[in-house]
Structure 1
C-alpha cells in the first residue's frame, strides 16, 4: 500500500501514462455510447430537404387515421395514451415501403433520413393533438344544446351553441397557432441552456435514431409486422361485433361478463380491443386506479346514495338531471379532478420557479455554448457538440415570432367575439397578455415532468372568465370558449418545445420542426372538425349517457362552467360536503405519493384516474386491467421481447378498432343497420315476455 502511494503521489512518474490510458478508455467508451458517431458519415440534409412532399403525403394519411383514433377515445372515456411511438413507427414503415419500391425501379433520388422521419412524427402528432385540444369531447361539445339539456335545465337563447363545421374550423384556425409563436423565442433557453429532458420527446428521438441503424431497421420491420397483424385483428374484430348491434343494448359490448347485477352497476368486460391496447401502454397504477375508482363509486357510493332517493333529492327526476343522483356522479368527479389539477399545478409551477432559480443562480458554472462548442467552464461531448451546432444553425427570427403573435392576437380580438358574442374583446386581450407566461410555464413544466397541464389552465379560464362574464351575460358559454382559447395556446406550446427536443436529438432543424408543426396544426384544424362532424351526424345519440359515445368530459366541463357562474346553488343535498371531502382527499393522496419513497408510492392510486369511472363506470377499467395482465405475463416470460413489442402490439389494437369507426360512421350515415341483435336478458324478463 505504501509503495503504491509513493509511486503515484510521491514521485509521480506513472501519472502521464495512466492519464493517457484513462483518456483513451473514456474516448473509447464515448465512441461506443455515442449516437452521432454512428451517423457521422451521413450528411445532415438542409432544413428544406427535410421537408419532403412524400413526408407530408404520409403525414396527411396518418393524421386522418390518428384523428379517428383520438376522436373515438375522446368521445368514450377521455383516456388518451401517448401515440408518438405509433406515429414514428408507422411513418418509418410507410416511407420505407415507398423508398424501397422506388429503389427497385431505379427512381429513388432522395434517401429516407431520420430527420424526415422526425418531420412526419411531428406533423402527425401536431394534427392529432388538435383532436384533443380542440375540445370535441370536452369544452367545445359542452357548448351544444344536447349537453346543455343534460345539465338539468333547458337551454336559453344564449346558453348554448350547437356545433357547425364552419365556425369550428374558423375557431381552431384562429387560436391554434398562438402557442407556437409564444415559445419560439424560448427554444434555445429550454433545450440548450436549461437542458430540459422532455421524456416523451427524448424517447421518441431514441426510437427514430434506432430505426435508422442497420440493427434498428431489422427490429423496426418486426415491430411493424406485429403492429400490422394486431391492427388487422382489431379492425376485423370491430367489424365482426358490428353485425350483432342492430338495436340499443345489443352486441358484445353489452355482454354481462360478471353477471347481470354487476352489469347494472357498470362492471363488465366489453370486448374492446382499443382499451385492452390502451391498458397495455398505460402504467399499471393508472389502470388499477381506474378500477379502484369504479369500485368506490359504482360498487359503494352510488348504491348507498341511491337509497336516499326522495330524501336527499327528488324521486321524480330524469336519470340525466344533475339535481339528482347524476349530480353526485358529475360534481364529485369534478371535485377530484380539480383537487388533482390544483395540486399538480402548484407542484409543477413550484418546480418551474425552483428550476429557474437554480438555473439563474448557477448559470455562471454551466458550460456556455457558442456555435456548438463549450467555453473553458466545461466540455461538451461529441454528440452535444454536433447537436448544438445543428440546432443553432437554422435560426427562427424572434421578430417573426413576436410579429406573428401580435398579428394573431389582433385577429383573435376582432374575430372571436363574432363567433362567441358572449366572449368580449377585453376577455381575449387579458388572456393573450397572460398566455406567453402560462405557455412558458406549461412548456417548462412538461420538460421537467413530462406532464402537460393544458386542461388545468383551460379549467382555470372557465372559472375566471365565466364568473367575470356572469350569468346575465351567458358566462357558461363565455367560460367554455375561454377554456378553448387557453387550452389551445398552452397545449401547442408544450407540444412544439417537445418536438424541438426530438429534433435536437435527431439533428432535425428547428425550422423544419416549426414548419412541420405549423402544417400539422393546419391539417388538424380541418381534419379534426370533419371527423367530429362525421361522428356527430352519424350517431344521433352522441353525448347521451346510454350512447356508445357518451362524451363524459363534455358533461363535466359544462357543469364546471355552471358551477363557476352560479356557484354551489345548483348542487343537490350534501353534495357540497362530499365534494369538499373528495377535493381534499385528492390533494392528500397526491401529497402522500410525493412524500413517501418510490417503492411505496407506486402502489398509491392516482386521484385523476380514479375520478374518470365515477361518471362512466368500470367497464373500460376491466379492459385496461386485462391489457396490464397481458403485459405482466409477457414480461415474466420474456422481458426483452415484451419491451420491444408491447408498444407495437398495443398500437395495432388501438389503431385497428379506432379506424373501424370510419366505415361504421359511413354505414350509419347511409342508413345501413346491422342484421342481428344479440341481447342478454334475466330469467324474470324472459317470463314476462
Structure 2
C-alpha cells in the first residue's frame, strides 16, 4: 500500500535550479512546458509488463506476510532500464526510434502501478481469503470460494470506481492546494534524475516508506519526520552519478539474481528458509522447541530489501512488536490456558490471541490519525465556502473540450487558487467523470449482487459502501497529500462498524461492504500520487487517466489468474501463506456480528490501544508543541503503532529479516545526510522483485508436481517454508 523515493536537500535543488536558470535552460515553476506524445505504445506495453511483474510480487508478499508495495519508484527504474539503458547498450538488437522521455516514463509507471496494486484494491490478499476462511460453526455458513469467472467479475466491480474518483480531485488538491504528495513528488524527482532533466519543482519531499500493511492501515508507514517536519535529503549530483554511471543497473541486476537464486534454492532445500537457530536458546519457551513457537530464521533477501526501503525506525517498531507479541504475550497466553490450541492457530492458538491486540492497536492509531485531517478538511471546506459566498466572483463559460461541463466561479481573493496550467484537450472532461462514476458504480453494485447473491450483501448496501468511499476518499487523499499516509484502515473499520448496524448478523456483508468502501478510497489515493508525479513532469492528465484504466483492466485478469493459481497449488491459509490480513478482516466481522473475544484478551487490548492512542495523539499535535521542545525531541522515538501491530501479525522470521535491512539502511545513511543512498534502494528493489518473480517459477514447478530435492532438517514445529515445502 506502497514508495520510498530519493529526496533531495532543499539547498541542492535550489542550487541546481539556479544554475539552470542562469543558463536560460530552466525557468523554475514560472515557465510551464507542455510535452506532447507521452501516451505511446511502448510506454503502455512496457508499463503492463512491469505491472504484471509487480502484481505477481504483491500477490506473493501479500499472501505471505500481509505487506505489499505500490512500487512506483521500482516501476520507473525498471521501465527506464528496459527502454533506455538496454537499447543504449545493445543498439543493434534494440534500436530506439526516438528518445525515451520523462513524460513517457510517467505514463509507464502509471500503468504499472494500476496493474500492480489490484491485489490490494480487490482484496485478493485480505477480503477474498477471509471469505474462504469462514466456518458454519462461527459464521452461520461455510466458506465462499469464487471461481475464476466470479473472481474476475468481483475485480471488475471494484476496479474503476477509484480511478474516476481520483480524476476530479486533481484540480483541488494538486493545482489549487499544491499538496506535496511526498511519494509522488519524490518519484518525479527520480524520473527527472534518470532522464537528466531539470528538477521538477522547488519543493522537496519528506522521506517515506514503500510498503503498506494489509490491515490497510495506511498508504505507507511513514518514517517519523524531524523536529521541524523537514529532514535533509540526498545530494542531487551524487545520486545522478550512482544511476547514470551504470553502477546502479549492475546493482539492480545482481541483487535481482541473488534474491531469485536464493529463493529457488530454498525451493529445492526448504530448510534454508526456516533455519531453527532459536532452538539452541530455549528461553522464553521453556521445554518446547523455539520453532514450535514459530521462532526460526528466514534469510529472505526480499524482506531484507523491504527493511532497507522501510528504514531503521519502522523496522525497530516492528521488531519491538514482534518481541512483545511472540516472546512475551504468546507464551503467556499459552501457559495461562487462554489460548490452548496450537500456537500457529488463528482460532484457539496464541497466534489468534495476540491478533486481537494487534487489531486494537491498528484501530486506535488509524482513527486518531484520521481525526486531525478530518477536522482540517471540514474547516478548510467551510472557509472556502464562505469565501465563495462573500468574495468577488468571476464566471467562466464552458467551451467544447473544457474540463468542466458547466459554468463555475472562483473567488478572486483566494491567493492560493492557481489557474489550470493544462490545455483542455489534455484534461479529463467532467462529463467523462460524471458518467464514469455513475457507470462504474452501477457496474459495481450489479456485479457484487450477481457474484454473492442476496444472501451476501444487498445492492443498496453496496451502493452505500461506494458513497462512503466517495466521501471518505476526500479525507484520505488530503491526508496522503500532506503526510504520505492514507488512513484507509480507519475507513475500512468505519465501514465495518456501519454495516454491522445496516446488515446485522451477516459476516459476508460486513466484509464485502468494508472492502468496497476501502477499495475506492485506497485506489483514489494511490492514483493521486501518480497524478502528482505527472503534474510535476508535465505529463498529460488525460494520458495518465487512460493508463490507469488500461492497467486496472489488465490487472483484473492477471490478478485473478494469479490468485487462483496460488490457491490451486498451496493451502491458503497454510504454513507458507498465512494471509494475516484476512484474519484481521474476518475476526472483526465476527466480533461485530455477535462474536466473542478470547479469554482474558480484553485488558491487554485496552492497555495497548490506550498507549498507542496516546502516542498517536502526541504525533498529531506536533504542530502545536513548538513551545515544548522536550516533547518534540521525544516524538521521533515514539514507536509506530501500525508497524508495532504488524510485528504481532507476522511470524518473527519476517520481522528479523526486515530488521537486517533496516540496519543496512541506517549504516549507509550515516554518511549520506541521514537518508538511505539511492544505490541501496536500487539494490533493495532488486531483492524484492527477484523473489517475487521467482515465486511464480516456483508456483509453476509445484503445479507440475516438482518438489524439494531434500527435506533434511524439516518437520521442526511450525517451520513455515520448510513444513510447507515438504508436506
Query: TM-score, length-normalised on structure 2?
Result: 0.79
Question: Of 301, 322, 337, which aligns to 2:329?
Answer: 301
User: Which has the higher mean CA deviation after the structures are superposed, 452-461 or 322-331?
Assistant: 322-331
Matched, 1:522 2:558: no
Which structure 1 segments of 5+ residues have no match?
1-24, 683-689
What SS does the corresponding residue of 1:69 show, helix, strand or coil? Answer: helix
Instruction: Give the corresponding residue for 1:442.
Output: 476
Deviations 1:450-480 (A, max 9, x none): 1122333223222322442222xxx111111
Matched, 1:549 2:577: yes
Deviations 1:87-134 (A, max 9, x none): 111111111146547965896433211110000111111111112222
Q: Which structure's residues are more often helix, by fraction? A: 1
Shift of 1:42: 12
- Decide whether aligned partners of structure 1 residues 666 and 613 sit closer, same or farther in structure 2, where only a CA change above 3 A counts: same
- Decide whether aligned partners of structure 1 residues 445 and 327 sit closer, same or farther in structure 2, where only a CA change above 3 A counts: same
Query: TM-score, length-normalised on structure 1?
Result: 0.83
User: Which has the higher mean CA deviation after the structures are superposed, 104-113 or 574-583?
Assistant: 104-113
User: Which has the higher mean CA deviation after the structures are superposed, 547-556 or 660-669?
Assistant: 547-556
What SS does the corresponding residue of 2:431 show, helix, strand or coil? Answer: helix
Instruction: Report how many residues are paired.
Output: 630
Q: Equivalences for 1:79-158 in 2 at 5 Å?
A: 79-97=67-85, 99-100=87-88, 108-144=96-132, 147-149=133-135, 153=137, 156=140, 158=141
Is contact 1:442-1:453 (8 Å) kept? yes
Greater Rg over alpha carbons, structure: 1
Instruction: Give the corresponding residue for 1:16.
Output: none
Question: Of 318, 324, 327, which aligns to 1:290?
Answer: 318
Is contact 2:306-2:688 (8 Å) kept? yes
Instruction: Give the corresponding residue for 2:286.
Output: none
Is contact 2:157-2:445 (8 Å) kept? no
Shift of 1:404: 1.6
Query: Distance in 2 between the 1:316 and 1:97 partners?
Result: 55
Instruction: Give the corresponding residue for 2:57.
Output: 69
Instruction: Give the corresponding residue for 2:223.
Output: none
Matched, 1:571 2:597: yes
Is contact 1:78-1:553 (8 Å) kept? yes
Matched, 1:252 2:273: yes
Question: Of 424, 431, 438, which aligns to 2:458?
Answer: 424
Q: Equivalences for 1:13-92 in 2 at 5 Å?
A: 31=21, 36-37=26-27, 44-46=34-36, 49-92=37-80
- Decide whether aligned partners of structure 1 residues 296 and 58 sit closer, same or farther in structure 2, where only a CA change above 3 A counts: same
Instruction: Give the corresponding residue for 1:196.
Output: 179
Question: Of 663, 683, 694, which aligns to 1:629?
Answer: 663
Is contact 1:467-1:565 (8 Å) kept? no
Question: Of 369, 375, 378, which aligns to 1:344?
Answer: 369
User: Which has the higher mean CA deviation after the structures are superposed, 258-267 or 135-144?
Assistant: 258-267
Query: Distance in 2 between the 1:114 and 1:253 partners?
Result: 43
Instruction: Give the corresponding residue for 1:22.
Output: none
**Root-mean-square deviation (CA), in Å?**
3.6
Shift of 1:28: 5.5
Deviations 1:604-648 (A, max 9, x none): 111111112324332211111111111222233566995221210
Shift of 1:165: 1.5
What SS does the corresponding residue of 1:285 show, helix, strand or coil? Answer: helix
Is contact 2:35-2:538 (8 Å) kept? no
Instruction: Give the corresponding residue for 2:589.
Output: 561
Which structure 2 segments of 5+ residues have no match?
1-14, 198-236, 283-289, 397-401, 403-409, 623-630, 717-727
Query: Distance in 2 between the 1:377 and 1:469 partners?
Result: 47
Q: Equivalences for 1:489-638 in 2 at 5 Å?
A: 489-539=520-570, 541-544=571-574, 547-567=575-595, 570-595=596-621, 597-636=631-670
Query: Distance in 1 between the 2:715 and 2:349 partners?
Result: 28
Is contact 1:223-1:645 (8 Å) kept? yes
